[in-house]
Amino acid sequence: MAVALMASMVSAQPVQRFPGDGTGAFHTGRYHNLFVEQLGVPGDDSRRKVERAFEQLFHGDGQEQRVYFETGANDNGTLAYITDWANNDARTEGMSYGMMIAVQLGHKREFDALWNWSKTYMLTTDPGNPSVGYFAWSMGTDGTPRSVGAAPDGEEYYATALLFAARRWGNGAGIYDYQKQADIILRGMRHHPVMTATPPFRIHPGDAPFAEPATPWPSPNNRREAEEAAKAGRTWPHPRPAIVPRPVTVGPMVDEEHAMVRFVPETTIPGTDASYHLPAFYELWARWGPTEDRAFWARAADVSRDLFPKVADPATGLAPDRSNFDLTPATGWDGKPSQFAYDSWRTVSNWSVDYGWWAKDPRQRSLSDRIQRFLIGQGIDRFADRYSLDGRPMSTRHSVGMLAATAVGGLAATPGSNSRAFLQALWDTPVPTGEQRYFDGMLYLMSMMHAAGEFRIIQSRDRPLHHP
């Protein structure tokens, strides 16, 4: 057992020490390969499985397998996007996930191409748009807007991926001065001016004003949604109520008083989203980000650790999609309290990665044990992808992405039958294909990397999994 344990620990380069480092991988420089430790899988097998998943999702068949597409070039080089295939758009969530995967695995071409597309099409530069300086969260794959507002989870992953790129590859010029670009994002998240304007807005000066259509963009790829609507006698796409232009006020992406990331930076929409809380990242920002903000991010990390056990149900461990700043469930668009839904899948991964990297909060072990135990009780091969917080199923779909994120709970969970069951289920699950391969696939690949010890704090030019 001792030999197997040592073989499963992936060493990184020595790291610079700071007060309050915790006892996790940042302090030790070692990352657990859970597939080796708990399933007895050879370490080389887990690395090859990660490699194959990357190749399929980034360079596989364009119709059924991949989500990464290169689309020409500009003065900064190759352009590429990650697409939500079912909805035929590119989202800051997926673009920044793709960059994080690329830097972790040593793929500089893909990283730079995704960042170039993000800066070229998604960055709001029109000064009349109160979201100027943020990235529009959804764009058509042709570079035209689907939204003119921002979602903080994209900025969070962009900033951290750029910080890692600066350390893996060194800083280049212009948009490839990775540290400078990360600092711009991090300063904007906390110090964006409060601005008010009335739509329609533009992403870039000279664009046509953007107005949301009365009917959302249909996608020929989204067969599942169309079929479910037909069975229920509903129209698809769902028509929207008429949109009356109203002033929009946008401010920072964090609430200064509570030291919490906001659900959106629009000031009229209060509250937070537990799946946006990334204390593992905030600890790095408190060390590597703009000097004037480091104390804030250290505080935000502690606040996020305290949030998780307060918003998660004490019996099921399920966390709501949205919470008020007092940590009660926020009211959803339907007027009902927020429940465990698609965003929520990521919350268990967030606290578990924080435990693996920093090991500062022992409550995270109990949280992982709780949610894994509940979902095992629901049936590991059939639990629903949405629930009320107290455990009533709200759907009939079983999701690979939710399974994968919950398997990452093994970084914090007590080693045992439940953790092994999730790891075995993840190991046995093929790479997602077809129309739903975007969110499921991104979470699958990142979860495989976490569980294999291949998703690390990149402190220097240590050996990537792939050689560029």
Q: Are 412 and 356 in contact (CB under 8 A)?
A: yes
Nearest to 236, CA basis, from 222, 255, 250, 257: 222
Which among 21, 93, 183, 313 is annotated as catalytic? 93
Residue 359: left if φ>0, alpha if ψ -120 to 50, beta else—which one? Answer: left
Degrees, nearest 5: CA angle 279-21-312: 30
Beta-carbon count within 10 A of 265 CB = 26
Task: Look up 93 and say whether it is catalytic.
Answer: yes
Question: What is the Rg, in whole angstroms, of the alpha carbon atoms belonging to the chain?
Answer: 21
Q: Residue 319: which residues within 8 A CB-CB, separation 6 or more?
A: 274, 275, 308, 311, 312, 313, 340, 344, 347, 389
Q: Are 53 and 99 in contact (CB under 8 A)?
A: no
Q: Are 154 and 96 in contact (CB under 8 A)?
A: yes
Q: Are 159 and 185 in contact (CB under 8 A)?
A: yes
Q: CA-to-CA distance for 216 and 53, rounded, in angstroms?
A: 32
With residues binned 3-state (H G I as helix, E B as strand, rest as coil), the percentages for the chain, rounded to 5, are 45, 10, 45
Nearest to 189, CA basis, from 300, 89, 108: 300
Task: Look up 343 and say whether it is catalytic.
Answer: yes
Which among 343, 361, 435, 454 is annotated as catalytic? 343
- The token duo for 160 is 């951290």
Sign of CA pseudo-dihedral 104, 101, 97, 26: negative
Tokens 């009356």 belong to 244
Residues with a known catalytic role: 93, 343
